[in-house]
Amino acid sequence: MKTMNKAQRLAQYQNATFKFYETARHGYLLAPKELVLDLGLEFYISPFSFETLIDRKKWVYLEEDGDAGVFEKAYEAYFGKEGNIEWIESLEDESFIIYNQRFGKFGGEVFMFRATNGINDFKSLERNLKKLSKKHGITLAV
């Protein structure tokens, strides 16, 4: 496979659609990590955004309050137009755990728990987090 240069990598995202995941508490814009880096945003993205691996490709969940806006402005400045965004509301009847790593030089591994339907049974949640803590050798807490 031929390696692309920066301009070629950027060109493939000219008409890209980015997914924005809206949860009950927060939202994240999902963007390819290589695009975030090629736009020169490595030092402008906070540790409140998360990296993850999807289908052997690195992605960044850009936190809605700051990092998603930084990305959108950089995208528009480079391509001369706004990026296409597909809004996705998370499932209301399901809670899930996603393994990620905080973005950037200061980030560490983190398990992010998203509960979109509200949690009334904290004892059950605590038991599940203890099981995950033991399984992965890390401390998780409510």
The number of domains in the chain is: 1
Burial class (CB in 10 A: 0-12, 13-18, 19+), 107: middle
Structure-block tokens of residue 4 = 């692309």
Distances (CA, A) of 51 to 2, 33, 60, 95: 25, 8, 4, 20
**Residue 141 in domain:** no
**Residue 40 in domain:** yes
**Residue 42 in domain:** yes
**Residue 1 in domain:** no
What is the domain extent for residue 43?
Answer: 6-136
**Residue 91 in domain:** yes
What does DSSP assign to residue 44?
T
Q: What is the pLDDT of residues 23-50, one digit of tens each?
A: 777 788 999 999 999 999 988 888 888 8
CB of 45 within 8 A of CB of 62? yes
Give the whole-angstrom CA distance, residue 82 versus residue 96.
31
Q: What is the DSSP string of 76-87?
A: HHHHSSPPEEEE
Give 10-residue mean pLDDT values along the chain (142 residues).
86 94 82 94 86 82 92 95 88 45 55 47 66 64 50
**Residue 128 in domain:** yes
In this prediction, residue 92 carries a pLDDT of: 46
